[in-house]
Structure 1
Amino acid sequence: MRIGLSTPVVVQLPGHRSDWEERATVEDLARVAAVADALGLDHLTCSEHVAVPVETAATRGATYWDPLATLSFLAARTTRIRLATSVLVLGYHHPLALAKRYGTLDRLSGGRVVLGVGVGSLEQEFALLDAAWDDRGRRADDTLRSLRAAWGRPEVDGLVIEPHATSTHVPVWVGGRTARSLRRAVELGNGWMPFGLPSDELGALLARVELPPDFEVVLGPGRPLDPLGDPDRARRRLIALRDVGATVASCAVRADSADHCCDQLGALRDLADEIGD
């Protein structure tokens, strides 16, 4: 099981963010990303919300950095760690626009893009962007098929796309919390990235589906880990993810500063190595 970082600062969820993230600088963010890269962590993440209604910000959070701008910045401050959207809402984008924009990021980063994608769940945001809410699942499937067909190709349907991604394959992790999202991931993606599901439900859903070879199950521990302050609990939570079927754990860590966050990542790396042994 590989370990990735649910990037601090760029998404600040109530009950999950640490206080230091509210006052963090861009250089703090860059330093954390560089340490994650040097430690050999699997990926960094950034989510997508254009605007969150005031009445839902208390539960969803209000801070969402733009994923394309953010991951482009992090690409320039790292060398090997993968850059994962977590997630792009497919209904907000034309597939060729995604192929061009994130294909450019893929080229800038040397082929490190992972597309985490989802159907979307915030109706007010769909309305803001004049995106179709009804039948959004089917529309998302169509967009995903078109995106995969266009990815990394210099010409699509008589249209030139330059620059384009470094190859015609891109890892696609499908987000969601339903059996349908898992089926979508198996049929159209390379991995499943569910959220908000207990371990027993995750295990039951995964047991019903024959997963393709090299399919990635990307799970999070729920709450941020504290590898330095409570290593036993952090170890148990990582083992629980592995045992339910995770091939990748996407983790956040508790911290009181950027320096502390970097130290926590080192301890998290050590725990992951210990579990692997």
Structure 2
Amino acid sequence: MEIGFAPPVSGSWATPENMLRIARRAEELGYGSLWTFQRLLSPPDGNWGEIYRSVQDPMVTLGFLAAATGRIRLGVSVLNIPYVSPVVLAKQIATVDILSGGRLDVGLGNGWAAEEFAATGADPRRRGRQADEAVPLLRRLLTDEVITHDGEFYQVPAMRLEPKPVQRPVPILLGGAAPAALRRVGRLGDGWVSSSRADLTAIGDSIRAIRSAAAEAGRDPGRLRFVCRGAVRIGATGAGPRTPLTGTETQIRADFDALAAEGMTELFLDPNVDPEIGSPDADPVASLRRAEELLETFAPGAPAGI
């Protein structure tokens, strides 16, 4: 299972200097990928949680990191399909893929925040059908020389989108946990990226559902990627049963093995989802120190601690 890491995008530690520091060190240590996430707005009372109060734009951040790295892949988990036209999204994807020399992985989701749907003019009641139309259209925009489309949600006259990305095709992973979303991954996606709130004790059920949907659609399930967004916290166990990816280094490494056994092909560690790191009220120096501890401890090939 390949291991990735999330650079600073949420909270007080998400500065340009820290982004570069984490990204460059992750590449030095052999991590396979860097991942960002999207959150457009946050409620005044902060009831979505600390990690959503102050979030940098994911694609702009990846374009910035593309210039500072040379090997490590760059991913977003996830961009919400209903919030923007596939034409605009395709232009962003192509540009970041070019800037990175063909290192971009795109995760797409359907959104969940009613306030963001309202603010972007999107209709949450139609997001499933919208995704069914948007994903194939996005692929065509990124690959076909001339695109014509007349659908329920999008209309594109005969036009070109240039320049094209380096990768042909750019990998498109889909998020979501509902049965319909998992079936969509099997039918349309190059793989699946899980939520940081996913129940990792039952993650194998989702993987099996996606593989089954892929087989029913005549696709090869063995070609799909399965990416876990890992809320890893060393020493944080709390009351009750231990949550996967929390606890001692030994326990967390055992969780890595368990996820791989269930079929996860990739895991990225995301310190932004730790409210003690990803909050705008957190001490940025302490946040960086905690994140770098995580980065060094679980570096690919690093010996396990005692």
Q: Name the TM-score class by shorter chain.
A: 0.7 to 0.9
In structure 2, the residue matched to 1:219 is 228
Q: Does 1:190 align with 2:199?
A: no
Gaps of 5+ in 1: 13-21
Q: Where has structure 1 moved over 6 Å in runs of 4 or more? A: none
Q: Does 1:249 align with 2:239?
A: no
Structure 1 position 267, deviation (Å): 2.5
Q: CA RMSD in A?
A: 2.5
- How far apart, in 2, do the equivalents of 1:117 and 1:162 lie? 22
Structure 1 position 232, deviation (Å): 0.9
- Pair 1:273–1:162, CA change in 2 (3 A): farther
272, 279, 297: which is aligned to 1:267? 297
The answer on whether the counterparts of 2:3 and 2:300 sit within 8 Å (CA) in structure 1 is no
- How far apart, in 2, do the equivalents of 1:193 and 1:104 lie? 22
- Could you tell me which amino acid in structure 2 is paired with residue 168 of structure 1? R
Residue aligned with 2:257, SS: helix
219, 243, 252: which is aligned to 1:234? 252
Measured against aligned partners, the alpha-carbon deviations of 1:89-108 in whole angstroms (never above 9, x if no partner) come to 00011112111111011011
The answer on whether the counterparts of 2:29 and 2:300 sit within 8 Å (CA) in structure 1 is no
- How far apart, in 1, do the equivalents of 2:170 and 2:141 lie? 11
What is the TM-score of this pair, normalised by structure 2?
A: 0.77
Residue aligned with 1:249, SS: strand
Mean Cα deviation higher: 26-35 or 195-204:
195-204
The answer on whether the counterparts of 2:13 and 2:287 sit within 8 Å (CA) in structure 1 is no
In structure 1, the residue matched to 2:49 is 58
Mean Cα deviation higher: 188-197 or 102-111:
188-197
Measured against aligned partners, the alpha-carbon deviations of 1:3-44 in whole angstroms (never above 9, x if no partner) come to 01123x2034xxxxxxxxx24531121011011112221211
- Pair 1:66–1:25, CA change in 2 (3 A): closer
Measured against aligned partners, the alpha-carbon deviations of 1:50-84 in whole angstroms (never above 9, x if no partner) come to 21222433366212111121111011111111111
Counterparts of 1:51-200 in structure 2, within 5 Å, are 51-55=41-45, 56-58=47-49, 61-157=52-148, 158-195=158-195, 196-200=197-201
Q: Does 1:34 align with 2:24?
A: yes
In structure 2, the residue matched to 1:16 is none
- How far apart, in 2, do the equivalents of 1:24 and 1:91 lie? 26
Answer with 1 or 2: which has the greater Rg: 2
In structure 1, the residue matched to 2:152 is none
- How far apart, in 1, do the equivalents of 2:302 and 2:266 lie? 11
Residue aligned with 1:64, SS: coil
- Pair 1:261–1:182, CA change in 2 (3 A): same
- Pair 1:248–1:273, CA change in 2 (3 A): farther
Gaps of 5+ in 2: 149-157, 215-220, 236-244, 278-285
**Percent of aligned pairs sharing the same letter:** 31
Residue aligned with 2:204, SS: helix
